[in-house]
A and B are shown apart, each in its own frame.
Chain A
Amino acid sequence: MLHVVFYFQVHQPYRLRHVNVMDVGSGRSLFDENLNRSVMHKVTQKCYLPTNALLLDLIKRHEGRFKIAYSITGTAYEQFAFYAPEVIESFEKLVETGCVELLGETYFHSLSALYDTNEFLDQVMMHKQLMKDKFGYDTVTFRNTELIYQDSISDLIFEVEGYKTILTEGVDRILQWRSPLYAYKNYSKDITLLLKYYQLADDIAFRFSNRDWPEYPLTVDKFVNWIDHLTLSETGKRNQFLNLFMDYETFGEHQWAESGIFDFMKHFPAKALERGNIGFANPREALHLANYQQESISFPDAVSWADEQRDLSAWLENDIQRNAIETLYELYEKIRRKGDEHLLREARLLSTSDHFYYMCTKYFQDGDVHKYFSPYDSPEQAYIYFINALADLEERLT
């Protein structure tokens, strides 16, 4: 049996205002409330509400056979609560079906795992608590920001009560001859790993409406045939997992409604289930569905799901990104020592990975993606606003 494992990332950052040197110490808010509100309103109408409605309908129609998972960041949840509470209601309805798994991650969608272990664990616990408080859900599967993963992260997550599985990217240089269709163990064999099948996931997330793509248009039949073909690689009775992980905003935001993305999703589950050898599963089910000895696999260096390199270069490649993030984490220590909760909260909002993504200067193929997602004119501008915001935090600390 091949199990399609859908996981959707639901995230919105708090975008920074054009923070000027003259604003330092002025007490003005660092964040662009109008921009954040308008983005939230736009994406709610284009993506969150229609996609939630569609998936709820599919789950009900297939009576427990269609399953999906979400990872909803703390910053997204808060902004739903401020600007679009109806989105929270619709997620609650989805969770109530029992076919939806909620995943754990850092509350602020941060890169703290790479810089500050204590801060990382704090943010992971904050998020776990949020899912428990708001949805009554105990998370058992973890995905780190942007699927960033390396061996040391599994050690940290193993220490957190409840986590048994981690999702990450099926990177070729790590997998080599191995297939991402099986469940693996981490290097120390404590944790189960599920690896994104990036070819098929990105066909939906990135290429769906690309008319230059030879496979355009992507039909449900074609896609189900490809999946069916994958099952041939398993000659025994081992369960396979086709991990389709993507941004939730793929539906209606990155791929517009006019592209037919909603129709695709509407008909995909029925066509897949028709085959008999294809089913759907939640990530947490892999623990008992993996009916074989899971091979251990080591990730000595960090991987992610971003850009062609699938490494950290989208956030931490150039000098401005490094200076910005190192300044931030040095500031954390000072803020902690002072014990100022308000400043800590702002530093955490600045830890969201998007701020560093906006400073990316890779202007080849991937640069276009970065520009698309950035609210600023240039990486340097994003840096200036960010570093001025850090100057403001530090000034308020003294």
Chain B
Amino acid sequence: MFTWEFPPLISGGLGMACYGMVKALLKQGIKIDLVLPTKEAVYFPLREESDVDDMPTVFIDPKRQKQFVKLTFTDVKEKLEYIGLTQHPETYLQLNEVTQYIKRFSQLHHNERTILSETYLWDEMALHLIGEEDLIKKVQEYTLRAEYYATHLEYDLIHAHDWLCYPSGMLAKKLSNKPLIVHIHATEFDRSGGPGDERIHKIEHAGMMYADQVIAVSQYTAQMIMSRYRIDTGRIKIIHNAFTIDEDTNFERQRIFHSPTILFLGRITLQKGPDYFVEVAEKVLKVHPEARFIMAGTGDMGRKLIHKSAALKLRNRFLFTGFLNRQQVERVLRASDIYVLPSVSEPFGIAPLEAMAYGVTAIISKQSGVSEVVNHAFKIDFWDVDRMADTICHLIENPDICRQIGNEGRQEVHLIQWDEAAEKIRRLYASTLAAYIKNQGK
């Protein structure tokens, strides 16, 4: 399995989803070799449920592996830091390696006989994985290394998450001739809030076309990939994400403000609709000046929105937290009454489920996958700031109703567990393999 994020060091939406999914799959008896964008060339052979937290690690280089087993670490985090899985992406690829990589790609391409359409897809991916940006370079490096995993590990099926891992998945499929499943957590259209980067579209398209099966995290995303990427509906399987409730988490309410507290939690970037949150705050504060709005997270729109909130004279009722660690995220969730997800385009959106687990009443954008799986939350178009403001005012004026919906939401979230989603993935694995074996037989 190729993925770009995995806790504890990276805990974005993709990381959280992969964690829950892998854990549930291990419980079903499926064995997973996990490949992450680590600085060191390693992989993680996960065999038992507890392995998602212990993260057993194997170095590709036997010499390094010998050194590594002698080391002791106080916790998983320290171990992952040692093998270079950092919170923020960094460049470590030299230019000559890029050239090498391109050469190797063309060699592979010429050495094998491929059918015409496949050649086209391969070119589409390879030609667009070119660029000097840190991220593109990192993907190139990751893909280079995939060759080793593809030829040295034993596996039946390849599972790759999001575009960053599609080139690796494609390479592995090409070398091993094993079936490939790509998993769409977000497309470039979602992330950019507009057309986005052409190269990424091409890689996404190539990955989806090259794959045997495509998993979409919601109906919303399935629609998107059908209409935008023209992917054959027969190969798309919708499997909603779920939410893992950590037993150790303290879900007790602990207020910061006496007055009603309304939370935005996520990247402060166009996709997440943070500017709509500011507009909603202005409308609510005109009626309820006692309300407190918290915008938690960081992002490229942060500076602009700080100035906007000040220009609207939202006083000290609209506050910014900056970057929050895990503990601090829990702290603001425990202190909030209402959670708002005003995303412009959200393939799934795991954060509202987390907020609901704390009994926080959720208002979620209709343009999201998560709105397909929950009932005890308000679903409003992201652009309908009047309706959002009215809803918040109503909840402020009726705290009992707010609490009741929060409690119902909490109970509902406990039912949205990964076991069910993992069972669907397991069945998809089985059917894909069956089709593969059938084809092999021909």
Contact = CB atoms under 8 A, between A and B. Distances in A.
A20 B332 CA distance: 11
A323 interface: yes
A340 to B, nearest CB: 16
Contacts of A327: 315-316
Contact of B310 (A24, A324, A388): A324
A388 B321 CA distance: 9
Given A20-B321, A22-B331, A22-B332, A394 B316 contact: yes
Interface in A327-342: 327, 330-331
B97 to A, nearest CB: 34
B171 interface: no
Contact of B306 (A22, A322, A331, A380): A380
B314 interface: yes
Contact of A320 (B306, B319, B321): B306
Q: Could you tell me the dominant secondary structure of chain A's interface residues? A: helix
B192 to A, nearest CB: 24
Interface string B25-44: 00000000000000000000
A318 B307 CA distance: 8
Nearest to A398: B258
A22 B257 contact: no
Among A24, A322, A330, A387, the most chain B Cβ lie within 10 Å of the Cβ of A387
A319 B307 contact: yes
Contacts of B310: 318-320, 322-324, 383
Contact of B316 (A22, A319, A378, A390): A390
A387 B307 contact: no
A327 B314 CA distance: 9
Interface in A366-397: 378, 380-381, 383-384, 387-388, 390-391, 394-395
Contacts of B328: 20, 22
A300 interface: no
B294 interface: yes
Contacts of A25: 256-257
B235 interface: no
B325 to A, nearest CB: 11
B313 A395 contact: no
Given A22-B321, A327-B316, A383 B306 contact: yes
A interface, size bucket: 20 to 34
B438 interface: no
Given A20-B321, A21-B256, A330 B315 contact: yes
A24 B310 CA distance: 19
Interface in B299-358: 302-303, 306-311, 313-317, 319-322, 328, 331-332
B376 interface: no
A172 interface: no
Contacts of A381: 322
Given A21-B321, A391-B319, 11 more contacts: A22-B331, A24-B257, A327-B316, A383-B306, A384-B319, A384-B320, A387-B319, A390-B316, A391-B257, A395-B257, A398-B258
Interface of B: 256-258, 292, 294, 296, 302-303, 306-311, 313-317, 319-322, 328, 331-332
Interface of A: 20-22, 24-25, 318-320, 322-324, 326-327, 330-331, 378, 380-381, 383-384, 387-388, 390-391, 394-395, 398
27 contacts: A20-B322, A21-B256, A21-B332, A24-B256, A24-B257, A318-B310, A319-B307, A319-B308, A319-B311, A320-B307, A322-B310, A322-B313, A323-B314, A327-B315, A330-B315, A378-B303, A380-B307, A383-B310, A384-B319, A384-B320, A384-B322, A387-B316, A391-B292, A391-B319, A394-B316, A395-B256, A398-B258
